[in-house]
Structure 1
């Protein structure tokens, strides 16, 4: 269960979810015609230990990511949001943005795998243990960032704009912000404070992209508590890490604060990309609750 001031590294608590997501990207990216490919995801997963490597090698058929319902749906979810946010950064930099901030960066490797215009500065904010794992793992693999990447080791529950500024962030310059896979790990009031901070630090011409998930239905939560197989235990453990409370709609919040905001449901985005939507399966996961949002400050 989450507590105020709790801590983690890449293999515990909230940090472990980044590894789970990286494993999903690695597995899904192997499929022919994959919607997106993150070749560095497998590097992270294999560096995390033998059990994770065994998952990639097909030796854990009972793992949730190996299941035809939830596993396939979750992998599809990860590729969809990867492509959406990759395209977001291409659009923002094409519009002239040269300052990027990735909040709760986890195992996001866009600094290493995307092409960036000259002069771009990319700030990654996360706990120091997570940033260290990423940097050391990719360095050992021979990978270097394609951009001026600056680590900002900080807990987002702290006053993170102070260290961000100390690392060279310029609030007078347009910024492309990213909050991918973050909001559900924040209480509703903390989400609003995050948005307020982004708004206060964003010059005209700034962009922000967010993944939002609506609260899980009460019956879904109850079902997780009632079952005891491995998959349900894994999902119950994940549920203990999130805040399943009602919260402000992201697109509406930014629109109300003068931004131009667009929102698309994850399933609708998959249909736009010509991909099957598997969320109708009973154990497919919460993709129908997930939305992808982009907002621009004119």
Structure 2
């Protein structure tokens, strides 16, 4: 397995940011081309400020950035929070632990992602691990810096959630986060102020998450006030691999006839083919009742074969699969596309930009024989059945 395949495998097995490659650049490239400075966290609605932060240092006037230090809050180091994370590390399986890894990525990419509670949800262990990987990547002038892919994915979902909610034209709406993990969008996205948010995940995970958020809300964590941004948030203890998860969602207050955004971020490829198709078919069936937007990321077959014990479901053509289930207006993006870049993937020779130049039907890269491992970011819309009377 050569470097590109090894890099992607490490990305997959590390929940999208652990142990990315350290391919060095030639001397004609400056490291500042691949790094941006770390300004204060941006409020969720400051799109223009994000555009400035996305620019290269020579474009926005920022000086060459220096390596940032990892500063842990007093709350994170408190006995209560440390005890909670000790139990997480002892009792949770790899799928559940990936939620903490994802939160660490959002916490350390705070110059791009506004998430005031990400560090508390991640815990000290995963913050330190990722911080060390970022430092190593910086020293090695890596083409893909640890965490960048997770940052791009998060920003893509954030942007498309906001767009989807706008398409409802002020109607009452719901946002369902399937396999929610340590997702804190209900506390960081102002566009959810009129939305009822449902977080669906394992009971133990949701209980621990609620306890950590309660601790953050009751403290002065770095002078950041933690407030609920959504109209409401309801945690639904359910395993989406079970047949009754949708019934549990409805019993928790979900209204099938109300406009809904379904978010499947970093989850569907963990499911078996049978379970994944059942989830997608359930969402598609509900779209017959109301205006529905599905946001999900899909791996192609080559991606899942790099870690067959972890990843199961794949789709090489999700833009064909979803219409067959009843969705319309399917839009597919790859990392590095104009709407899935956010100023973070500058190098044309990085792993994902190299893949974008090849047809999606190509399974093996012609230059080096490596598998073409792809992650697809997909938005699909469903509309209620129209009858003429």
TM-score, normalization by structure 1 = 0.76
CA RMSD, aligned part only?
Answer: 3.0
Distance in structure 2 (CA, Å) of the matches to 1:112 and 1:29: 15
Secondary structure of the 1:105 match is coil
Q: What is the number of residues matched between the two proteins?
A: 258
Displacement, 1:217? 5.9
Instruction: Give 5+ residue unaligned stretches, structure 2.
Output: 1-86, 218-225, 355-370, 384-389
Query: Could you say which residue in structure 2 is the equivalent of 1:21?
Result: 102
1:177 aligned partner:
262
Alignment gaps of 5+ in structure 1: 1-7, 222-235
Of the candidates 55, 59, 83, which is equivalent to residue 129 of structure 2?
55
Task: Compute the displacement of 1:172 (Å).
Answer: 1.2
Structure 1 residues 9 and 93: CA distance shift in structure 2, 3 A: same
1:291 aligns with 2:363: no
Displacement, 1:254? 2.0
The answer to whether the aligner puts 1:193 opposite 2:282 as a matched pair is no
Residue 80 of structure 1 contacts residue 270 of structure 1 at CA under 8 Å; is this kept in 2?
Answer: no
Shift of 1:74: 4.4
State how far apart, in whole Å, the 1-side matches of 2:352 and 2:202 are: 36
For the residues of structure 1 that align with 2:103 and 2:251, how far apart are their CA atoms? Answer: 30
Could you tell me which residue of structure 1 aligns to residue 236 of structure 2? 152
1:76 CA displacement: 0.9
Residues 1:37 and 1:188: Cα distance change in structure 2 (over 3 Å):
same
Residue 255 of structure 1 corresponds to which residue in structure 2? Answer: 323
Residue of 165, 185, 200 corresponding to 2:250:
165
Q: 8 Å contact 1:267–1:288 — kept in the other structure? A: no
TM-superposed deviation, 1:106: 0.4
Residues 270 and 26 of structure 1, relative CA distance in 2, 3 Å threshold: farther
Q: Which residue of 1 aligns with 2:118?
A: 41
Residues in 2 aligned to 1:198 and 1:271: alpha-carbon distance in whole angstroms: 24
TM-score by structure 2 length? 0.59
Give the Cα separation in 2 of the matches to 1:133 and 1:77. Answer: 26
Q: Which moved more, 1:144-153 or 1:176-185?
A: 144-153
Compared with structure 1, are the counterparts of its residues 215 and 51 closer, same or farther at alpha carbon in structure 2 (3 Å cutoff)?
same
Q: Are 2:185 and 1:104 aligned?
A: no
Distance 1:212 1:87 in 2: 18
Q: Secondary structure at the match of 2:199?
A: strand
Per-residue deviation, 1:67: 4.3
Task: Tell whether the 8 Å contact from 2:193 to 2:229 is kept in structure 1 after alignment.
Answer: no
Residues 242-285 of structure 1: per-residue CA shift (max 9 Å, x gap): 22x65463322222324211000113247753332532699xxx
Q: What does residue 88 of structure 1 align with? A: 160
Q: 1:16 to 1:90 in 2, by over 3 A?
A: same
User: In structure 1, what is the equivalent of residue 212 of structure 2?
Assistant: 137
Check conservation: 1:29, 1:79, Cα contact below 8 A.
no
User: Shift of the alpha carbon at 1:66?
Assistant: 5.2
State the match for 1:127 in structure 2: 202
How far apart are the structure 1 equivalents of 2:98 and 2:146? 12
Distance 1:67 1:22 in 2: 20
Give 1:128 deviation, angstroms. Answer: 1.0
Distance 2:331 2:128 in 1: 40
